């Protein structure tokens, strides 16, 4: 069920993209989460979107041995679902709710342009 809303994803997404390379160790991701007070990182490889990493993914990985040698690519969600920046906010909400996601990378065609999170959607719909 699509929530009716004329606002677009680009109206509420964050254009400040904080990313990590798929080949980086998860200790770097941990540092980025803490430094930037965020819960999701975009994962890139050669400048292209290849995954998304949540702080929850990282915390789950901390229970495993050899943590310092674990690469982001080993624990990220590969080939994440994306949403177009011109798509309706209701569609973003539907995708996030139906899939139990907390964030979606935002694209303009094939170019990564931002990220929208469940927190952004809550702020938006609270603002109605």
pLDDT band at 67 (very low <50, low <70, confident <90, very high): low
Model pTM? 0.89
What is the arithmetic mean of pLDDT over 35-40?
96
User: When comparing pLDDT for 9 and 61, which is higher?
Assistant: 9
pLDDT of residue 81 exceeding 50: yes
Q: Which pLDDT does position 59 carry in this prediction?
A: 86
Within 10 A of 73 (CB to CB), how many other CB atoms are there? 18
CATH class of 9-126: alpha beta
The candidate with the shortest Cα–Cα distance to 62, out of 110, 25, 103, is: 25
**3 state SS for 48-111:** EEEEEEEHHHHHHHCCCCCHHHCEHHHHCEECCCCEECCCEHHHHHHHHHHHCCCEEEEEECCE
**Per-domain residue ranges for the chain?**
9-126
């Amino acid at each position: 069920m699509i929530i009716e809303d004329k606002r677009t994803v680009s109206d509420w997404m964050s254009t400040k993209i904080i990313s990590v390379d798929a080949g980086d160790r998860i200790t770097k991701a941990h540092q980025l989460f803490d430094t930037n007070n965020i819960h999701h990182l975009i994962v890139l490889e050669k400048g292209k979107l290849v995954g998304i990493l949540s702080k929850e993914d990282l915390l789950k990985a901390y229970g495993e041995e050899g943590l310092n040698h674990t690469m982001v690519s080993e624990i990220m969600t590969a080939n994440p679902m994306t949403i177009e920046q011109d798509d309706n906010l209701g569609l973003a909400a539907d995708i996030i709710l139906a899939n139990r996601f907390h964030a979606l990378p935002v694209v303009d065609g094939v170019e990564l342009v931002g990220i929208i999170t469940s927190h952004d959607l809550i702020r938006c719909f609270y603002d109605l």
